[in-house]
Structure 1
Amino acid sequence: MSINVVTLIGRVGGDPSLTYFDSGKVVCKLTLAVNRRTRDGEHTDWFNLELWGKTAEIAGNYVTKGRQIAVKGSLKFDRWSDRNSGTTRSSPVIQVDQLDLLGSKRDSEGGGGDFSPENF
């Protein structure tokens, strides 16, 4: 048995970046700052998020820098070959399946909600 589930709540680090493909697919990339408590105080961890399809479009329309969101998805690693050295590099990415807009109405005009593909 294998389990790969990531759940995060934090604030968006920048406005979403949407890319539309000729195939009709859409991807949204953004960063999420999540505070983690340690013995030395509070530290901020940054996560790269990737959203696809309807969830990506909703993020593009309703998510802005500083907005508090919750996401649920899985951890994956993007891999590529470094152009200069030829070394294989990797970067962790959270592939988001479910997006929840959090915060008060002051944070946005739209309010909160569960924006996962099953709800559309």
Structure 2
Amino acid sequence: MSINSITLIGRVGTDPDIKYFDSGSVKCRLTLAVNRRSRDAEPDWFSLEIWGKTAQIAKDYVTKGKQIGVKGSLKFDTWVDNKTGANRSTPVILVEQLELLGSKRDTDNSGSDFDSPDNF
């Protein structure tokens, strides 16, 4: 048995970067800062990848600084470095579920929950 499941709550670090494909697919990339329990610690930064209707929702409702919750899985993007020829990789969270969270700072759209396109 194996499990690849990640749940994160944090603040968006960049406005969504949306890409539309000729096939009709939509992909959104953004970063998420997640604080640790220690107040002195720097936040951990995660790269998020969102597809389909959920990506469109992220484009329409998510902005830098907005608090969101995500559920998804960990994947690794891999490539060959053009300068050195070395294999490189970076972790990416493949988001399956997105939740817009409200706070004193974010009063609009609080509590909205959007599942992955497979759940629509």
**Does TM, normalized by the shorter one, top 0.5?**
yes
- Cα RMSD between the aligned structures? 1.7
Shift of 1:97: 0.1
1:61 equivalent in alignment to 2:68 = no
Gaps of 5+ in 2: none
How is 1:1-120 mapped onto 2 (pairs within 5 angstroms)? 1-38=1-38, 41-104=40-103, 107-116=106-115, 117-120=117-120
Percent of pairs with identical residues: 66
Structure 1 residues 112 and 118: CA distance shift in structure 2, 3 A: farther
Q: TM-score, normalising length from structure 2?
A: 0.92
Shift of 1:69: 0.2
| Structure 1 runs, 4 residues or longer, greater than 3 Å off | none
Higher strand share: 1
Matched-pair contact (CA < 8 Å) for 1:50–1:96:
yes
> How far apart, in 2, do the equivalents of 1:50 and 1:108 lie?
25
Letter in 2 for 1:84: K
Letter in 2 for 1:20: Y
Shift of 1:108: 4.9
SS of 1:36's equivalent?
coil
Shift of 1:32: 0.1
> How far apart, in 2, do the equivalents of 1:68 and 1:26 lie?
22
